[in-house]
Every structure is written in C-alpha cells, then in structure tokens.
Amino acid sequence: MSEQKLTAELRTEFGKGFARRARMAGQIPAVIYGHGAEPIHINLPGKATTLAVRVSNALLAIDVDGEQHLTLVKDIQRDPVKQIIEHVDLQTVKAGEKVTVDIAIHVSGEVAPGAVASLEATTVSLEAEATHVPTAVEVTIEGLKAGENIHASDLVLPKGSTLLTEGDTLVVRIAEAASSEEEETTEDAAE
C-alpha cells in the first residue's frame, strides 16, 4: 500500500464548538499518537483526507509545520446519519516496524453445484510491516463441496504477514444448499 501525503495545521483549540467550526471550514480534526510521544492535535484537509482513508489501514505521510509524520489510520469517527468524517485517530509508525491490523476477507470463485458458502469471519488480525499492510486476504472457494470449510490457518497470507487470529477460527463454511422442497416446507411452517 502506498502512502498518501497530506498537509495538516496544528490545532490549539479544543472542544465541540471548535471541532464543529473546523468541519464547517472543510477540515477534519485529528490526533497523532504513539511511540511514547505527546499526542499532536491537528486539522486535516477534509476532501483529501476523505479520499485517502477510503481504504482500511490507510498509510498517511502528514506534514505538520514542516515536520513529517508517517501514520497509520487507527480509528475514524463518522456522523451516524450523514456518514461524514468527524475525527481521525492516527498512530505514528516507522518503516520496518511491525503493526497489528485487521484485514478484510475477500472471497472469490464458485462452490460446487448443490453447495452454498457463508462468510463466517469478515476480518482476520495480522501482524505486518507498517509500510506494507495488505488491503485484503483473498480466499478461493472454487469447486468446494458441502462440508468443506476454510479456517484461518488455511489462509494464504501476504508475504511478511503473520496470522494473529486463532488458527481454528472458521472463515468460510460450505454447506449443502436447501432443496426447493425443503424451502417450501420451511415457508409453510412459518405461515
């Protein structure tokens, strides 16, 4: 994953009123923390930040008054109705440093006829290098039959990543598809 470059302004005022005024001015309040340093409160450019954090675990290179900070997005607070970003928490990282991240599971392929797949875990926890955090873990279910399951230990992880999720965690369950007669019986019973 490549880093996104953003320029931020140092923030000296705090509270709801200031945050609301910053958002109305097209800025997003944020905080940079980590490595035992004092938190740095900043305002990020609204549109550029929104575009940069569309992917999970986004890596941001932030310029604060000429000082460079390499950060990883740890949390985003959004308005529950409008889904506008209200605040961003950023963790300072260094090249080569290992970080713990939750990575999405992407399923590809078609199961065997008469079977159906259900995604039991949408993410897995990995330890990866901060500058090489994968965007997703691919799982292929092509041709799998009912009763065959994929566990976390079966996943093919990106190079340099270590699985932190328990190996016996069920990721994808392959079950027998319900026949049309069974569906009709279930529907009749429900009525």
pLDDT (tens digit per residue) in 46-86 = 889 888 888 888 889 999 988 899 999 988 989 899 888 88
Cβ partners under 8 Å of residue 111, min gap 6: 117, 141, 142, 143, 144, 145, 174
Say how many C-beta atoms besides its own lie within 10 A of residue 9's C-beta. 13
Within 10 angstroms of residue 27's Cβ, the number of other Cβ atoms is: 19
* The predicted structure's pLDDT at residue 65: 87
d(CA 172, CA 30): 36
End-to-end CA distance of the chain: 51
Strands 162-163 and 123-129: antiparallel
> Per-residue pLDDT for 9 more than 70?
yes
When comparing pLDDT for 189 and 31, which is higher?
Answer: 31
Average pLDDT, the chain: 87
- Name the token pair of 95: 């090249």
Percentage of the chain lying above the pLDDT 90 cut: 41
Decide: 123 and 102 in contact? Cβ < 8 Å: yes
Say which residue, 187 or 166, is predicted with more confidence: 166
Each residue's pLDDT tens digit, 92-134: 998 888 999 999 999 999 998 989 999 999 999 999 998 888 8
> What pLDDT shows up at residue 2?
66
Contact call for residues 7 and 45 (beta carbons, < 8 A):
yes
Name the CA radius of gyration of the chain, rounded: 22
Q: Domain 4-93 carries which CATH code?
A: 2.40.240.10
Q: What pLDDT is stored for residue 55 in this prediction?
A: 84
In contact, 101 and 128? CB cutoff 8 Å = yes
Fold of 99-181: RNA Polymerase Alpha Subunit; Chain A, domain 2 (2.170.120)
Q: Where are the domains of the chain?
A: 4-93, 99-181
pTM of the model: 0.73
Q: Which residue has the tokens 């065997």?
A: 112
Contact 68, 10 (CB under 8 A): no
CA of 171: how far to CAs of 38, 82, 125, 176, in Å? 39, 32, 12, 17
**Residue 36 pLDDT grade (very low, low, confident, very high; cuts 50, 70, 90):** confident
